[in-house]
Amino acid sequence: MQEIPLTWKPIRNRSFAGMLGQQELAYVLQHDGQTSWEWMVSGCNGTIRYDFQSAETLDEAKAAVQASIDEWFRLAGLLNTSTSA
């Protein structure tokens, strides 16, 4: 496996949870009146962090979440590090 298969569940207006099965691993949201999106990964690495990062678009925020989660699973030895399928 080269990438953790996240799905995105709407949780309220302009807010999404990054899901692995039934587990919420990350959050992406846009505050009222803002154009940028905030994202954070929480819990998948054994810690709970509440420091949000910023991205210009929803797609950029989702990509940053995906990269962060993939990196943690790679470091834990649970995701392939090779680039070939």
In the prediction, which pLDDT does 21 show? 94
Taking the model in full, what pTM does it have?
Answer: 0.85
In the prediction, which pLDDT does 48 show? 62
3-state SS assignment for residue 64: helix
In the prediction, which pLDDT does 47 show? 61
Residue spans of the chain under pLDDT 70:
44-50, 82-85
The length of the chain is 85
Euclidean distance between CA atoms 70 and 8, whole angstroms:
15
**Segment 67-85, tens digit of pLDDT:** 999 998 998 888 887 655 4
Euclidean distance between CA atoms 53 and 36, whole angstroms:
10
